[in-house]
């Protein structure tokens, strides 16, 4: 049995007063009859909550309801479940550790160095310990990136701390258990402080905001039961600017001179006077104004390392390392040479024909790390305060010819759990699935970003509108998405309710956001479907209401008054080449039309959310509002005579069909217009952008055009996903076009690692594998298995490790047969849709685990029902082998 507290394994530093518990049972026992959760203080064993035996089959998000949880205390909890078979399963070794639960949460001063400098700053303080220590935690807040150490020991394995927020609205503290590093007598805390997001402009231009600041609280609990707090205070901290990191910028890279290292600077006994560096007393800073909360999400880590696939020697004496894969992170350098030797690492996603790096997709970013050797044997370097999106690294100044150990690729991202796997008998689709996952992973750095390489790396609500559902099938993102929804709420106007295009709001984007940036509505709803998370609906409900009220006020006769992006970055021939984003605004699918369609969709989702929360008046309000928007949309954009939407584009017809805007009696005719354009006019190519390219495949798959959808997904000529792969892509591009020269206007927006066009990968799980959540029983309490099988696809295998356990489905199509194996986890039910025919074969006999359920064209099992295209099997937890012939 696996257990989770707030979706995390043994979390440290959480601050929920009523944390929630979930569990997954691997045993092959079908039903939970009851559960019991017991929570104890780890030190004393005192029971602080005993749920008692609760008659319930629920396994998700059970809230703690005991004594008040205390600051810095670790609690052990036991989950015991009672099964209908009489079996009892227990898991005891589970813990969670609280953060700061007292008020005020934060008492420490904000301190730093009052200089506008591009280098990092080094801060240290010392203090005495005179009694044995039981536990100790350091809590740190900083809008800059930092590295924390205690007595020379780096604290934890997280990198790029703290999580990215708007510090004027939200301040997240990270918690570090440090008792193992403390000593009797003198102790030293050290903080290396880079620019990060706070001093981003400083790192870019050598001018601008230069605030290098942090706040720190240390809580020490002694074995005698007493405790004390030590707070950052300018009187007790010193800092220097004279250290090895001469420059650092998220976008541009890091300059590290190992000759200027300060050995022992963060250890007891270090003499600042004799160090050769000038040390200053710290200065108090004006506190950031955001609300202080715990950083309750997976940290960013180096999650994987990789060796170069190829190494090329360049004519100028440099070497280009091809990692064989585009990804986000950095390179770890291993080298030896004379003191003062300067080595430059220049990153890129592309290479020229001579294997030198091509930085066209980086825009204004230098993406260069520089390392100067100290000249003492083998030296290793990796940056602290930057990250890059790259496949290639051109290295200048190496003292000797490199080998495979000279450069190691470090994959850096939020350490969320991979939960989904998909494969099939089509190699191109398998590569596409790989590209989707590498792209998603490259864009998870405490927020879901748009790209990891250029001067952006922002959380765009537009992209995430379509991207989030695919990501939820591939990764466990409950904590990260909960945090990011808070970032969106932080952007919301107090008076208007408008949100912004990016969250946190910086560098790019507008307020108000384009109405297609519907993430504030879609994310809570999809998290509810995948995790049965009612709290996420409650936490965002008021913000969604205010946002929809703002949209409603900014309509004219229920048509949106503005839209900036719409169906973004369609094939260039269908766009206004003089528009924003390097010609990314569609000419064939008007943005205001798309915005109005999204407003309707958001209202229908809000009607569902209000229903879940029992808000009857709001259910009625949003039903009425959506009806009015639908009527206005049809009046303004629907051609009833021609049976098409707008300009009869693929995107216009798709969006109206997907959102349910087309009158039922006309859907077939609109589908015919859509398919005619795809097949006859475009020869199986798309004219859609980032939004409708995801929806068009779903519309085709759910309306009987599975083979058309499959041909679009496997198309290899421009514009198509396969075209990217044919051109060697290992991640998903931002545009349909291959852009390798600055001569193209498209070069203004030419990321080669951009998740939005990978959103269509949700169809691999929902339709090809047929794994769907049930709105009526969310969180996969009831699973829907309903595969859609194109004629050319003969084999699919997929699984999703849901919060209730693994749901898996595999199928094979034979010459005149069909076989499917479905795995359902403990305590779930399912409706399994078994196809009655495929291609030219009609199945008249179906067996499940060797037992006949459909014989000679007749249902012979009471757990089944017959529909037009399927035999529906009502199943409980277990494994089902289905054979059709």
Any idea which residue has 């007790």 for tokens? 236
Q: Where are the alpha helices (DSSP H) in 721-799?
A: 721-726, 762-763
Q: Which residues contact 558 (CB under 8 A, 6 or more apart)?
A: 552, 596, 628, 629, 631, 632, 633
Rg (CA), the chain: 29
Angle 650-659/591-612 helices, nearest 10 degrees? 10
How far is 652 from 695, CA to CA, in rounded Å? 11
Query: Which residue among 80, 456, 602, 738 is the active-site one?
Result: 456
Q: List the helix and strand counts (H, then E) for the chain.
A: 15, 52
Question: In the numeric block, which tokens belong to residue 724?
Answer: 């990217």
Kindly tell me the burial class for residue 315, based on how many C-beta atoms sit within 10 Å of its own C-beta (0-12, 13-18, 19 or more). exposed
Which residue, 230, 232, 219, is CA-closest to 101? 219
Instruction: Quote the DSSP letter at residue 489.
Output: H
734 given a catalytic annotation: yes
- Which are the contacts of 379, defined by CB distance < 8 A and separation ≥ 6? 258, 333, 334, 335, 336, 371, 373
Please identify which residue in the block is written with the tokens 């047969």: 817
Tokens linked to 699: 């519309």
Distance in angstroms (rounded) separating the CA atoms of residues 496 and 512: 9
Q: Distance between CA atoms of 353 and 694, rounded to whole angstroms?
A: 34
* Structure-block tokens of residue 708: 């058309």
Which residue shows structure tokens 């990796």?
A: 382
Asked whether 437 and 730 are in contact (CB, 8 A), the reply is no
Q: Is 717 exposed, middle or buried (0-12, 13-18, 19+ CB in 10 A)?
A: exposed
Residue of 192, 382, 734, 883 with catalytic role: 734
For residue 249, give both structure tokens: 């910028």
CB 847 within 8 A of CB 828: no
Q: Which residue has the tokens 């994310």?
A: 523
797 catalytic per annotation: no
Identify the DSSP state of 70.
-
Q: Which residues are known to be catalytic?
A: 456, 734
């Amino acid at each position: 049995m696996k257990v989770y507290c707030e979706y995390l394994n043994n979390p440290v530093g959480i601050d929920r007063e009523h944390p929630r518990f979930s569990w997954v049972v691997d045993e092959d026992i079908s039903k939970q009859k009851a559960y019991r959760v017991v929570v104890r203080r780890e030190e004393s064993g005192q029971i602080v909550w005993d749920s008692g035996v609760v008659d319930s089959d629920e396994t998700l998000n059970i809230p703690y309801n005991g004594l008040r949880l205390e600051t810095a205390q670790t609690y052990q909890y036991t989950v015991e479940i009672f099964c209908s078979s009489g079996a009892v399963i227990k898991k005891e070794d589970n813990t969670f550790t609280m953060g700061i639960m007292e008020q005020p949460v934060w008492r420490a001063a904000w301190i730093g160095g009052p200089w506008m400098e591009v280098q990092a700053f080094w801060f240290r303080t010392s203090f005495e310990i005179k009694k044995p220590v039981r536990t100790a935690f350091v809590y740190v807040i900083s809008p800059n990136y930092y590295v924390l150490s205690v007595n020379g020991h780096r604290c934890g394995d997280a990198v790029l701390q703290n999580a990215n927020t708007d510090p004027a609205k939200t301040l997240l503290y990270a918690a570090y258990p440090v008792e193992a590093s403390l000593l009797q007598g003198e102790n030293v805390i050290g903080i290396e402080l880079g620019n990060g997001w706070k001093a981003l402009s400083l790192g870019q231009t050598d001018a601008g905001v230069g605030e290098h600041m942090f706040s720190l609280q240390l809580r020490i609990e002694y074995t005698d039961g007493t405790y004390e707090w030590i707070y950052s205070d300018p009187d007790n901290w010193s800092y220097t600017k004279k250290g090895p990191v001469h420059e650092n910028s998220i976008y541009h890279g890091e300059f590290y001179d190992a000759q200027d290292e300060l050995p022992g600077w963060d250890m007891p006994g270090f003499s600042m006077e004799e160090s050769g560096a000038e040390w200053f007393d710290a200065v108090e800073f004006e506190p950031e104004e955001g609300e202080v909360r715990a950083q309750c999400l997976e940290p960013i880590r180096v999650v994987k390392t990789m060796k170069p696939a190829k190494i090329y020697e360049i004519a100028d004496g440099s070497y280009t390392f091809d990692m064989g894969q585009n990804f986000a992170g950095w390179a770890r350098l291993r080298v030896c040479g004379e003191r003062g030797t300067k080595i430059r690492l220049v990153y890129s996603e592309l290479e020229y024909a001579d294997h030198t790096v091509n930085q066209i997709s980086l825009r204004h970013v230098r993406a260069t790390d520089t390392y100067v050797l100290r000249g003492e044997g083998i030296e290793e370097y990796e940056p602290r305060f930057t990250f890059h999106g790259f496949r290639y690294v051109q290295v200048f100044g190496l003292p000797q010819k490199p080998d495979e150990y000279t450069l190691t690729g470090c994959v850096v991202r939020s350490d969320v759990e991979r939960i989904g796997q998909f494969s099939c008998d089509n190699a191109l689709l398998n590569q596409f699935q790989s590209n989707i996952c590498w792209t998603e992973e490259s864009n998870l750095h405490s927020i879901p970003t748009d790209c990891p390489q250029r001067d952006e790396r922002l959380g765009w609500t537009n992209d995430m509108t379509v991207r989030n559902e695919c990501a939820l099938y591939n990764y466990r993102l409950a904590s990260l998405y909960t945090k990011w929804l808070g970032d969106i709420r932080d952007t919301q106007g107090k008076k208007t309710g408008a949100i912004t295009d990016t969250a946190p709001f910086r560098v790019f984007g507008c307020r108000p956001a384009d109405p297609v940036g519907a993430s504030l509505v879609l994310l809570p709803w999809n998290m509810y479907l995948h995790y049965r998370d009612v709290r996420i609906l409650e936490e965002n409900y008021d913000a969604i209401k205010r946002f929809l009220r703002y949209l409603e006020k900014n309509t004219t006769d229920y048509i949106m008054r503005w839209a900036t992006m719409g169906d973004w970055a369609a094939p260039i021939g269908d766009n206004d080449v003089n528009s924003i984003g390097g010609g990314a605004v569609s000419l064939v699918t008007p943005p205001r039309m798309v915005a109005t369609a999204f407003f309707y969709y958001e209202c229908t989702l809000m009607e569902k959310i209000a229903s879940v929360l029992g808000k009857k008046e709001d259910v009625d309000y949003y039903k009425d509002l959506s009806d009015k928007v639908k009527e206005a949309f049809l009046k303004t954009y629907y051609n009833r005579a021609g049976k098409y939407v707008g300009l009869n584009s693929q995107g216009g017809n798709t969006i109206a069909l997907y959102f349910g805007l087309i009158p039922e009696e006309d859907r077939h005719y609109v589908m015919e217009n859509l398919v005619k354009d795809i097949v006859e006019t475009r020869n199986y190519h798309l004219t859609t952008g980032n939004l409708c390219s995801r929806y068009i495949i779903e519309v085709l798959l759910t309306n009987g055009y599975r083979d058309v959808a499959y041909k679009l997904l496997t198309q290899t000529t421009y514009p198509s996903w396969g075209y990217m792969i044919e051109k060697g892509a290992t991640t998903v591009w931002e545009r349909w076009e291959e852009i390798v020269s600055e001569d193209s206007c498209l070069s203004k927006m030419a990321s080669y690692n951009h998740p939005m066009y990978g959103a269509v990968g949700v169809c691999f799980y929902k339709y090809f594998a047929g794994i769907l959540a049930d709105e009526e029983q969310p969180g996969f309490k009831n699973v829907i298995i309903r595969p859609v099988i194109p004629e050319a696809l003969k084999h699919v295998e997929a699984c999703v490790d849901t919060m209730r356990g693994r749901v898996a489905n595999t199928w094979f199509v034979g010459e005149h047969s069909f076989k499917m194996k479905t795995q359902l986890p403990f305590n779930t039910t399912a409706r399994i849709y078994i196809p009655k025919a495929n291609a030219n074969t009609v199945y008249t006999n179906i067996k499940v685990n060797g037992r006949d359920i459909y014989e000679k064209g007749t249902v012979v099992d009471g757990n089944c029902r017959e529909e037009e295209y399927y035999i529906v099997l009502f199943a409980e937890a277990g494994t089902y082998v289905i054979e059709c012939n």
